[in-house]
Structure 1
Amino acid sequence: MLEELLAGWIPRQRWFAGKGRSIDAVRVESDLVLISGDPSLRHVIVEVRQGDTSDRYQLLIGARRELPQRLRHVLIGHAGVDYYDAAHDADLTGRLLTGMARGETIGRLRFRHVEGAVIDPDLRSLVLGAEQSNTSLIYGEDYICKLFRRLIPGVNPELEIVTALASRGAPHIATPYGWIETDLDGENTTLAFLQEYLATANDGWALALTSVRDFYASLPEIGADEAGGDFAAEAERLGTATARIHVELAAAFPTDVVEPPEVKHMVEGFRRRLARAIQEVPELADYTDIAEDAYDRLAATAREIPVQRVHGDYHLGQVMRTTTDWVILDFEGEPGQPLAERRALSSPLRDVAGMLRSFDYAARHLLAGHPEADRLESRATEWSARNRTAFMSGYVAGGGRLTPDDAILLRALELSKAVYEVVYEARHRPTWVSIPLAAFRDTKA
């Protein structure tokens, strides 16, 4: 009966990856009781089959004879008792903290904590509402526990990277406390990760937007360096923090180089992405020469490219400004990509390119539909250029490498990212296509 209820409930969840396709079957693969009685708590792993594909999802299922009003919005269904999404039930979620604090093993579940970490199991939780692919629980003002909803066999890169960096005493990360794991298909697989919650920190994207709004609202003769909300000093500090994290990642994990023949192979991949994008968004064809020139220059460098572990999905929404410095979050890479790709070595300039694109987005996304967009375009360009320059200055000062050949690679990576963004915006936010297209107007390497 539970499987039937879940078949109707799962497709409506934000974290469900199979939207738009019918569900053929839902099968409970694992069902462990963590708390018995009324209410009860069960940890459930379900397999969802849709045609030729099959995905696993992690659920915390509560059961009560009578569901209180505060939990009616997460009701799964009724079958003798009310079943509901217990991630939203603060009366039950402390069990996760208790398990990690004690280092318990329950059936196939293993609760673990970082050596020396002290976890308070009595804190009550609140679900963070902004996420799409995961569910995060905020415990008091101390912890954030990320539950990975769609399960991919293997250790999650975020757990792997943050614990490795913490063991080195690396700066600019949130302190790790514990995790939950199990075995899937014979591989140790991360189910949840508990970290320090930065209760008083500010989101980098929000800070950047405040700066952009201040600049747009200032008098026409006021430059970006004179506006009250100038962000350049913070951009420079963020560049330094980014470089230091890259230095720590290179020390904590193996490194390698990509030989010139593989560089050419990478460039061919860029060209294929561009050709496919033009088929979908024909207006991108006007910028083909600019992109191809950047790719040609990279192919002609004929040098090795150092590669290492990187963040993999780096932008202003992944960084937080505390009272003392920047902290970098979400090292799991792009959630939609295969785990092997998220763990693969890459040039650290891939992260740099992602952040540079994020500065452009911060500068221009307020112009979409703005009645004075044409007048403000030059201001957007000025704000972005100032903060990109400041970020790169900080990156070099923090130990980041940027030779003339590196600048060529960075330009190619940034334009390849912009090609991806053009397609994404055309599919999901057509009024925003002008934002990534602006990346091709500046022909400087």
Structure 2
Amino acid sequence: MDAPAVTREPRDDALLGLLGEWLRSRRWFPAKGVAADLSCVGGLTLVDPLDEADVRIVFVRTVAPGVDTVLQVPVTLRATGGDHAERTIGVLPVDEPFAQDAVVAGARTDVLDGAGDPAFLRAWLAAAQGPGAEVEPERAQVLTGEQSNTSVLLPGSGRAGAGSAILKVFRALAPGANPDVDVPRALADAGWENVPRPLAWLEATWPSGTSTVKGHLGVVSEFVPGARDGFALACAMAGRGEPFADLARELGEVVAGMHAALARALPVATPQLGADRAGELARALRERFGWAVAAVPELGRYADGVAALAAGTQAVREPPVPQRVHGDLHLGQVLRGHDRWYVLDFEGEPLAPIAARTRPDLALRDVAGMLRSIDYAAAVGGAGGSGGAGDGAERTWTPAEADLAWAAQGRAALLDGYLHGTPVDDDAAILLRALELDKALYEAVYEARNRPHWLGIPLAALDRLLPQPSDPTTEVRP
């Protein structure tokens, strides 16, 4: 099926006039707190098989400092009249459409959020490609908490809801094949069973400057019933002082299996980093530290340790060849269900170009992300009762011995599972430290700007990863 093309109709501009204020208040709006110019680049009409509403996807270009992207805004249009409360479904309260009794293209119309409206969901599924899903859009539930997209639970039509699925509506669109569609498809086709299988996907074309581009609008994937978010699970175990090591070891094995499956399913023809891959990694680490210390001056005390680690990184003779990786792997990107781990959310940073999100990298970067996430679970869950973040209080976090011990056991077990019990060799240990340090420096800047009471979490990692001025040892302690 060819990707449907975007058209320009008078009602698109009228709809944008109604949606502007609502758009700016959405969690997924990419230009919060700054002036943003909104313009309509067209819309896409989908057909509801039951003809209960007009279904329209409005494409809104959003331009602000550091932002220039096209947003996808599904809406349903219903003639004004009747029991309004029975017809309004989705993210918004049932009595609060975008604009009630508005005039759109000359007709008095209720304009409703389409994401949770059965009319939009039926139309989306009818237009999508893929094997399809036997679901009941009338019982759909929009999930809360997502920052960048909108996900909708679609209950299955089988017994006890068997066959349920999740629709992810991509809000910030990008030209090209979205990795959250293509990567799980490739992994599932390769026989890797630790990824929810994609069931349907929808593409479209839209204007970009003087040309037309094509990309994914969303994907429907299998739903894992009863699954728990990996980070929430780890935090709860940390809070109870329950060891995470066994699950972490199993998770390490799954990550290793993912990397092997990615290498088979999406082979890389040529390395994307230059011949001096170690040198490039060392330069990137120095640049990251320069950026971080400019934002958080107290990081300056780590300058000697960063310089030593960068030099050690540059001396690595044979760093691994880059391959396709997850790119944003942490405990919040995995689920625990059916006594196994599932990996999801391969999309990467939604505002980054597709080419940047699919660029091959060191597989160890995914491992470093998991190691950092285990540290955060120990701190937030509060294995030693030190994590004020666990109950929402803004108390300054300071490491407790129990937190550090719980995290150390989890990190060691994850590495043991990933390496299948093989000890970490010297070069891999240096690269892993450098990649984990890179992540911790980013975290330090983020926490200093947004949650200063959590700054101690990345600082504790820096103390662990880098030799202190009074401690010249370079012992590797992953």
**TM-score (norm: length of structure 1):** 0.87
Q: In 2, Cα distance between the equivalents of 1:375 and 1:26? A: 47
For residues 158-237 of structure 1, the aligned pairs below 5 Å read 158-184=180-206, 185=208, 186-215=212-241, 229-237=242-250
Work out whether 1:48 is the aligned partner of 2:65: no
Question: 2:331 maps to what in 1?
Answer: 316
Identity %: 35
Greater shift in the superposed pair: 66-75 or 177-186? 66-75
In 1, Cα distance between equivalents of 2:266 and 2:450: 36
**Corresponding residue pairs, total:** 417
- Asked if the contact 1:211/1:231 (under 8 Å) is kept, the reply is yes
Counterpart residue identity of residue 413, structure 1: L
Of 17, 24, 32, which aligns to 1:19?
Answer: 32
Relative to structure 1, the CA distance from residue 203 to residue 261 in structure 2 (aligned partners, 3 Å threshold; closer, same or farther) is same
Secondary structure of the 1:276 match is: helix
Report the equivalent of 1:405: 427
Please name the residue that 2:356 is paired with: 341
**Cα distance in 2 for residues equivalent to 1:52 and 1:317:** 26
240-249 vs 150-159, which deviates more?
150-159
Deviation (angstroms), 1:156: 0.5
Please tell me whether the aligned partners of residues 260 and 303 of structure 1 are also in contact (alpha carbons under 8 angstroms).
no
How many Å apart are 1:51 and its aligned residue? 7.1
Task: Name the residue aligned to 2:376.
Answer: 361
**What letter corresponds to residue 440 of structure 1 in structure 2?**
L
Q: Which residue of 2 aligns with 1:222?
A: none
1:378 positional shift: 0.8
The alignment status of 1:119 with 2:133, answered yes or no, reads yes
Does 2:444 align with 1:422?
yes
Partners of 1:378 and 1:121 in 2: CA distance? 49
Pairwise CA RMSD: 2.4
Residue 388 in 1 paired to residue 395 in 2? no
Distance 2:33 2:398 in 1: 41
- CA displacement 1:163-211 (0-9 Å, x = unmatched): 1111111121111111000124444301001100112111111111111
Aligned counterpart, 2:111: 83
Contact persistence 1:172–1:327 (CA under 8 A): yes
1:253 maps to 2:266: yes
- Residue 143 of structure 1 aligns with which residue? 165
Report if aligned partners of 1:259, 1:303 keep a CA contact under 8 Å in 2.
no
Match of 1:243 among 256, 266, 271: 256
Check whether the contact 1:95–1:121 (CA below 8 A) recurs between aligned residues: no
Contact persistence 2:369–2:436 (CA under 8 A): yes
Deviation at 1:317, TM superposition (A): 0.5
Tell me how far apart the structure 1 counterparts of residues 21 and 53 of structure 2 sit (CA, whole Å): 23
Q: Secondary structure at the match of 1:277?
A: helix
Q: Distance in 2 between matches of 1:49 and 1:333?
A: 21
Deviation at 1:89, TM superposition (A): 1.9
Contact 2:329 2:369 in 1 (8 A): yes
Structure 1 unaligned regions, length at least 5: 105-110, 216-228
Unaligned regions of 5+ residues in structure 2, if any? 1-13, 103-107, 156-160, 467-474
Report the Cα distance in structure 2 between the residues aligned to 1:441 and 1:44, rounded to whole angstroms.
Answer: 49
1:27 deviates by 1.6
Query: Given that residues 281 and 423 in structure 1 are in contact (C-alpha distance below 8 angstroms), is that contact kept between their aligned partners in structure 2?
Result: yes
User: Offset at 1:118?
Assistant: 4.7
Q: 1:88 to 1:259 in 2, by over 3 A?
A: closer
2: CA distance, partners of 1:441 / 1:330: 31
> Quick one: distance in 2 between partners of 1:329 and 1:144?
12
C-alpha change, 1:28 and 1:237, in structure 2 (3 Å) is same
**Contact (CA 8 Å) 2:397, 2:454: kept in 1 or not?**
no
TM-score, normalising length: structure 2: 0.81
Could you tell me how far 1:330 is from its partner in structure 2? 0.6
The answer to whether the Cα contact below 8 Å between 2:397 and 2:457 also exists between their aligned partners in 1 is: no
